[in-house]
């Protein structure tokens, strides 16, 4: 199996990938994000994901036998793209606009192969409905500082789960990495996660233990 490289510093994406039981390195991308209001949302998240993956792939030798994974998530309300809030006031305004309403969460996923120079990308869309929030609830959530580094001003996997009434679609997409879409892209590069996991199990010597993926399978490269 080729070495997987996650071009993201997101602990949420790292955890989701580790939970699949695969080994990977973390090399955060230094690619600059474009204006979140440009273009079609689906094309935008794919463009940003590709940019992140390719920026890291460009730094790797062609013979390294690696596949670089890039991802980017945005929130869309009434056709308007909501990125990460600039400050507490901006976060509060985002949450007020989302209160009691449906919105869409889009995550673009891209895989870049340094050896061939090929990059493939796709995106997932999940609809999310917030319950009606009081001013006090919004203030209390913003005070946790959770909203400040998250698209749309909330994280569904943390205290932000208390804001969400319903979702329609892939939960992992809302967290930041749609795993089925990722697996589909990896398969196009000849990597089947389920098959690779089974082969890894066969190679474990008798009377030995495999360390939990979330504990040691991922390492960050400075």
Q: How many domains, in total, are found in the chain?
A: 1
**Which pLDDT tens digit goes with each residue over 13-22?**
999 999 999 8
pLDDT attached to residue 208: 35
- Per-residue pLDDT band for 215 (boundaries 50, 70, 90) equals very low
Q: Which two tokens stand for residue 52?
A: 């992140």
Catalytic residues: 72
- For the chain, give the number of residues: 222
**Which pLDDT tens digit goes with each residue over 131-153?**
999 999 999 999 999 999 899 99
Residue 34 has pLDDT above 90, yes or no: no
- Per-residue pLDDT band for 31 (boundaries 50, 70, 90) equals confident
Helix axes 135-143, 88-98, angle to 10 degrees: 140
Least confident of 31-45, 64-78, 131-145, 190-204: 190-204
Can you give the residue range of the structural domain that contains 134? 3-220
Q: What CATH number is associated with residue 98? A: 3.90.950.10
pLDDT attached to residue 214: 41
Q: Which two tokens stand for residue 172?
A: 């992992």
* Distance in Å from the first CA to the final CA of the chain: 23
Least confident of 68-72, 184-188, 197-201: 197-201
Give me the mean pLDDT over the 62-90 stretch.
92
Task: Answer with the residue of higher pLDDT: 181 or 197.
Answer: 181
Q: Report percent pLDDT > 70 for the chain.
A: 85
Rounded alpha-carbon distances, angstroms, from residue 129 to 95, 102, 167 = 12, 4, 6
Q: Which two tokens stand for residue 101?
A: 């309403």
């Amino acid at each position: 199996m080729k070495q997987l490289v996650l071009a993201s510093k997101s602990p949420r994406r790292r955890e989701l990938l580790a939970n699949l039981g695969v080994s990977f390195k973390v090399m955060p991308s230094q690619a600059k994000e474009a204006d979140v209001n440009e273009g079609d949302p689906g094309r935008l998240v794919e463009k940003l994901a590709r940019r992140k993956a390719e920026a890291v792939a460009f730094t790797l030798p062609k013979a390294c036998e690696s596949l670089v994974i890039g991802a980017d998530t945005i929130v869309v309300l009434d056709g308007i793209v909501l990125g990460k809030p600039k400050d507490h006031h901006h976060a509060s305004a985002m949450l007020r606009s989302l209160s009691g309403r449906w919105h869409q969460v889009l995550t673009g996923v891209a895989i870049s192969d340094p050896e061939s120079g090929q990059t493939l990308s796709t995106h997932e869309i999940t609809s999310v409905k917030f319950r009606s929030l009081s001013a006090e609830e919004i203030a209390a959530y913003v005070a946790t500082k959770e909203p400040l580094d998250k698209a749309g001003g909330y994280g569904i996997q943390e205290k932000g789960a208390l804001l969400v009434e319903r979702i329609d679609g892939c939960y992992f997409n809302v967290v930041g990495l749609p795993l089925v879409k990722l697996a589909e892209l990896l398969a196009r590069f000849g990597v089947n996660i389920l098959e690779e996991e089974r082969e890894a199990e066969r190679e474990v010597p008798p009377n030995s233990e495999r360390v939990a993926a979330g504990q040691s399978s991922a390492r960050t490269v400075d």
